[in-house]
Structure 1
Amino acid sequence: MDLVVTADRVRTLADADNGVTAVAIRAGRIAAVGTRDDVAAWRGPATRVIDLGAATVTPGFIDAHVHPVLGAQLTRGVGLLGLDLEGVRRALAAHAATLEPGAWVLGWGLDPNVVHGRSLTAADIDDVLGGRPALVRLFDGHSALASSGALRVTGVDGPVAFDQRSEVVCEADGTPTGLLLEAAAIALVDSAVPTPTVEELAVRTHEALSRMAALGITAAHALEHAPQASAVYDLIEAEHELPVRLRCSPWVQPGTTERDWAAVAALQATGGRRWQVRGAKLFIDGTVDNGTAWLADPDSLGQSTSPYWPDPAEYSRAIAWFDAHDVPTATHAIGDEGVRHALRALARAGGRVPHRIEHIETIPDDLVDAFARLPVTASMQPTHCTEYTAPDQSDNWSSRLGPTRASRGWRIRDLREAGARVALGSDWPIADFDPRGILAAARLRRRGGAPERAPIQPDQAITALMALEGYTTHAAWSVGEQAEAGTIEVGKRADLTAFAVDPMLAPPDELVDASIMLTVSEGAITHESLVGAAGS
């Protein structure tokens, strides 16, 4: 054996744990499971044995939705998560003061709730920038605020027509406000921002993946694959191993044709030692917060009534094409009508390969039942609910939807009880990737470690087992890897996550600070914090 890991408890998530306290690994696979009494028979002259004492070992955690390279690019500049408007202005001013005159000021994580009863405008930040152009991403990743200087530099001076659902928000007289909705509109300004080099992106991506591994993440579904991504991963693997194994899905945008889809299909199974292209990412709508979700009825501002694809039938045709060519898909669908259309398209496609729907922020009862009938995974992010909405529905998301639709938010418990599979993740950099906080939020419907906070729709809280399955068995099933990952069984990939506490028994408010003692990805130790553990 190459490695043997022992602990007081091993949660295999197979049919029965049967008192497992030891796992043996050879050539990246689980070679045996048993008890500490078996270790002597497994041990060879080169075997490393790690005894984690009272720790609990689980199957390796899989974050079902991250953006490693895009996140490395978008998180340049100053982070604004959790700040009010004055905090945002102070942070931007302080960051601007460190830059050369005329240099771009970049920020990310801006919460639209910093202003109430209106939308953000360039006037909210112009006077703190010292004349520098600025592009500040909102936390949803689908909208951005450009300063007046940035609009001037890029020549954006009025409305623009796009092939996809995007908007340069303008006053009644046609003057841009600074708010840019969706990718095509943001690109008008972002195209003038200095582009980081592949080397810079590789460093930042490796740092983020290393932090993920230190928090117990062994694999992740990267729902992106920009043109520079392959070069970034290759550069990392030229010097290191990727700390997290990645499954990458290129974007498929409106306006593409079968020729473009065939190019995505041709990328399938290409990759490196610990990353591979597998799947395609599509969008059927945008976000509730910026009025670009696809709802059956308008939001309180009369918005969110259109799909991201101007012709949604073309989206459905793309889904059918990818299914017929054995390419799994993941569709961003947030609004009820967007989810409905995606489910209908997937139901007609045939289901040759596994498909998923991402986010699913508000749905009525009949769509819960539809998920249960179809072999389609719901991929959801609990902290999007607990960090960006409020129990009294005073936040932008809730007020746009109104009480009825807001009360149908993030129905993880209803989906699980109906029999649907629900994979959990972070959508980093939209939210923090620490799985401990996400597990706690899924069980509490509020931020873990903050008992003073009221829960949001507490009837949707899930059990400890459901939460753990969301990061293991259901995440593996969502991409058709249930024979390879998700449980600790002989023959499967040797992916292990070791907690100092038992995530099935520890109170979720304590879980958020629990030590991750060991992370093993495909037999390789990617994180060790073996205080109190024995190794040989």
Structure 2
Amino acid sequence: MTHRADTVILAETIHTLTEEQGHSAVAISDGRICALGDADSLATYISASTQIVDLGSATLTPGLIDGHIHPVLGLDISAGVDLSGVDNLDQLVETLRTARVVDGWVRGWGLDPNAFGGRPVTSDVVVTALGPDLPALLYLFDGHSALATPAALRIAGVDGPRAFSGNAEIVCQDGIPTGHLLELEAVSVVSAVVPLESAQQRRQRLTDLLGSMAAAGLTSANAMDFEGDSGELVTALEADIELPMRLRFAPFCMPGTDNEQLDHIVELQRRGGRRWRVDGVKFMVDGTIDGGTAWLDTPDSHGESTAPLWPNPAEYRHALRYLAKRGVPTVTHAIGDAGIRYALDSLADLPELPSGARHRIEHIETLPDDLVDRFAQQGVVASMQPTHCTHYTRADHSDNWSERLGTERADRAFRTRDIRDAGAILALGSDWPIAPFDARSIMADAQLRRRAGHVDDAPILPGQALTARMALEGYTSHAARAQGARDAGAIAVGHRADLTAFAVDPLRCPPDELADAPIVLTMVGGDVVHRADHVDA
């Protein structure tokens, strides 16, 4: 019996990412793909009510899945002035002097520590721009650190160092805070006193963000946050609209979490809606190399990055294994070589998850040779963000990240190709708002090992470049395997109709061209959530 299709999509090129190729039409019924073929062979699926979407010369692929974003936490981080284009301190002063003051505060985000040119990262330059009496909180690009002015520190009651559950720090000189806050526990002391947006404003910003992501081709994302008002926010939003993409949340598990709180994380796994669910837990075994809070085998050039974020890493291992044995997929932020090794050791010999999802390690920035094969051997997903390499490091190692590590460790940076060639699952993502969320640029950078469109940039370790197919798989088939989503990541009968259409062929066009190519159509569960103006229907 032939099912009548709700929608039939026609496209010159369809990359199914399965062995079944050569199709130019997809039939969709009840949110799932019910047939593949061409216009003639699918004619029997078409009735008077069937919507025909003719994409012409476009290329249709499985829907793009971002491996790592912070959609709710990112609302807080990305409030205020965008500082990601600031290259030096003079430019920072100029930018801050024109920044909007909202509820008596100046907020900013995306500040690259390279702008300090090797000088100490303090709030002195912010005071130069804004004066001594205006409170300001500026997030550095890594999202793990911030600058707070003396006025902001006074409001937060900060007048010296503090002890935290994890290895966070209010940086002080001679007992006086410099304004530099390292890691989220320290940043939250000040962010907690910043005036809050209204619930309506937050819903609108989240609506706009998800709409922009869908317009860039994303159909799903792994959301590494479920803190604060996340549950209430996404529930209220879904009461008003159909979410334009799927969200898979992983709440944080931070140092100091006890078994009762671990059981609460297990209970959270029951929460969800039509297009969102809690399915995982997010750990951070270390911080960042740029901030000097990563966990390295030997200290960086500043004598820093020598310890895990968890003062007693055995407590991280206990929490991870406790949750994993209760069926919770674990996600571990591990950037330094010692942190990656400890995370892999902690994941050893765990039983497979009933859901089919995989345990994951995020970022994996400097990776020794002896650890490369272990991802495939242990079945651990490598979740990586190519633009962390191309946006924040340089081929000549003159950037802050490389200078801290030294040549040997910087030469084993962001080893995406080695990990793929070893047979591991490699999921790609953005880490928004730490880097832009546009998958087209990220897939291009993964192939170029430089910023797309910056043809004069020298590639960074070009031997780690992915092929075009590997880059697309990182956003589709490999991302779906990482989630345990057996009905996603490919265009196949029975799979959910999450689809992305490009104006160019992402497997054949030059990467620089891919980065700027329009997204013609984005579909989630058979619903068109984005359509370019020129698409015929």
TM range (shorter): over 0.9
The corresponding residue for 1:149 is: 151
Provide the rounded CA distance (Å) in 2 between the counterparts of 1:320 and 1:526: 39
Provide the rounded CA distance (Å) in 1 between the counterparts of 2:362 and 2:47: 45
1:83 equivalenced with 2:98 (yes/no): no
Query: Is the partner of 2:349 in helix, strand or coil?
Result: helix
Provide the rounded CA distance (Å) in 2 between the counterparts of 1:180 and 1:164: 13
Instruction: For residue 284 of structure 1, report the CA deviation from its aligned partner.
Output: 0.3
The corresponding residue for 1:63 is: 66
Provide the rounded CA distance (Å) in 2 between the counterparts of 1:309 and 1:99: 35
Matches within 5 A, 1:254-333: 254-333=255-334
Structure 1 gap ranges (5+): none
Residue in structure 2 matching 1:73, options 62, 71, 76 = 76
1:311 maps to a residue whose letter is: N
Residue in structure 2 matching 1:135, options 130, 134, 137 = 137
- 1:421-453 deviation line (CA, Å, top 9, x unaligned): 100000000000001100100000001111111
The answer on whether the counterparts of 1:351 and 1:375 sit within 8 Å (CA) in structure 2 is no
The answer on whether the counterparts of 1:336 and 1:364 sit within 8 Å (CA) in structure 2 is yes
The corresponding residue for 1:39 is: 42
The answer on whether the counterparts of 2:521 and 2:531 sit within 8 Å (CA) in structure 1 is yes
Which sits farther off after the overlay, 86-95 or 324-333?
86-95
The corresponding residue for 1:187 is: 188
The corresponding residue for 1:4 is: 8
Provide the rounded CA distance (Å) in 1 between the counterparts of 2:49 and 2:231: 35
The corresponding residue for 1:517 is: 520
2:232 maps to a residue whose letter is: A
Query: Is the partner of 2:260 in helix, strand or coil?
Result: helix
TM-score, length of structure 2 as denominator length: 0.97
- 1:278-332 deviation line (CA, Å, top 9, x unaligned): 1111110000000000000000011101001111111111111111100001100
Residue in structure 2 matching 1:25, options 23, 28, 41 = 28
1:45 maps to a residue whose letter is: A
Provide the rounded CA distance (Å) in 2 between the counterparts of 1:230 and 1:28: 25
Query: Is the partner of 1:90 in helix, strand or coil?
Result: helix
Matches within 5 A, 1:39-438: 39-84=42-87, 85-96=89-100, 98-99=101-102, 103-130=104-131, 131-171=133-173, 173-352=174-353, 354-438=358-442
1:229 maps to a residue whose letter is: S
- 1:48-86 deviation line (CA, Å, top 9, x unaligned): 011111110000000010111111221111000021222
Provide the rounded CA distance (Å) in 2 between the counterparts of 1:294 and 1:81: 26
Instruction: For residue 39 of structure 1, report the CA deviation from its aligned partner.
Output: 3.1
Query: Is the partner of 1:272 in helix, strand or coil?
Result: coil
Instruction: For residue 99 of structure 1, report the CA deviation from its aligned partner.
Output: 4.8
Instruction: For residue 528 of structure 1, report the CA deviation from its aligned partner.
Output: 0.3
Change (3 A) 1:314 1:404: same
2:165 maps to a residue whose letter is: D
The answer on whether the counterparts of 1:52 and 1:530 sit within 8 Å (CA) in structure 2 is no
2:288 maps to a residue whose letter is: T
Equivalent pairs counted in the alignment come to: 528
Instruction: For residue 239 of structure 1, report the CA deviation from its aligned partner.
Output: 1.7
Runs of 4+ more than 6 Å apart: none
1:15 equivalenced with 2:11 (yes/no): no
Provide the rounded CA distance (Å) in 2 between the counterparts of 1:258 and 1:42: 54
- 1:1-51 deviation line (CA, Å, top 9, x unaligned): 11111101100001231x111111111111111112223211012110111
Query: Is the partner of 1:322 in helix, strand or coil?
Result: helix
TM-score, length of structure 1 as denominator length: 0.97
Instruction: For residue 350 of structure 1, report the CA deviation from its aligned partner.
Output: 2.8
1:360 maps to a residue whose letter is: I
Residue in structure 2 matching 1:477, options 477, 481, 484 = 481
Provide the rounded CA distance (Å) in 1 between the counterparts of 2:334 and 2:349: 17
The answer on whether the counterparts of 1:199 and 1:232 sit within 8 Å (CA) in structure 2 is no
Provide the rounded CA distance (Å) in 2 between the counterparts of 1:283 and 1:7: 43
- 1:510-536 deviation line (CA, Å, top 9, x unaligned): 1111111000011111100151x431x
Query: Is the partner of 2:478 in helix, strand or coil?
Result: helix
- 1:479-518 deviation line (CA, Å, top 9, x unaligned): 111x110000111111110001100000001111111100
Q: Name the Cα RMSD after superposition.
A: 1.1
Provide the rounded CA distance (Å) in 2 between the counterparts of 1:396 and 1:113: 6
Provide the rounded CA distance (Å) in 2 between the counterparts of 1:410 and 1:337: 15
The corresponding residue for 1:494 is: 497
The corresponding residue for 2:452 is: 448
Provide the rounded CA distance (Å) in 2 between the counterparts of 1:366 and 1:351: 24
Query: Is the partner of 1:251 in helix, strand or coil?
Result: coil
Instruction: For residue 133 of structure 1, report the CA deviation from its aligned partner.
Output: 0.5
1:14 maps to a residue whose letter is: T
Query: Is the partner of 1:518 in helix, strand or coil?
Result: strand
Provide the rounded CA distance (Å) in 1 between the counterparts of 2:198 and 2:77: 13
The answer on whether the counterparts of 1:113 and 1:395 sit within 8 Å (CA) in structure 2 is yes
Identity of aligned residues (%): 52
Instruction: For residue 231 of structure 1, report the CA deviation from its aligned partner.
Output: 1.3
1:365 maps to a residue whose letter is: D
The answer on whether the counterparts of 2:366 and 2:413 sit within 8 Å (CA) in structure 1 is yes
Instruction: For residue 152 of structure 1, report the CA deviation from its aligned partner.
Output: 2.1
The answer on whether the counterparts of 2:331 and 2:362 sit within 8 Å (CA) in structure 1 is yes
Provide the rounded CA distance (Å) in 2 between the counterparts of 1:51 and 1:475: 28
Provide the rounded CA distance (Å) in 1 between the counterparts of 2:7 and 2:120: 55
Query: Is the partner of 2:238 in helix, strand or coil?
Result: helix
1:384 maps to a residue whose letter is: H
Provide the rounded CA distance (Å) in 1 between the counterparts of 2:418 and 2:309: 27
Provide the rounded CA distance (Å) in 1 between the counterparts of 2:119 and 2:99: 26
The answer on whether the counterparts of 2:148 and 2:180 sit within 8 Å (CA) in structure 1 is yes
Structure 2 gap ranges (5+): none
Which sits farther off after the overlay, 375-384 or 146-155?
146-155
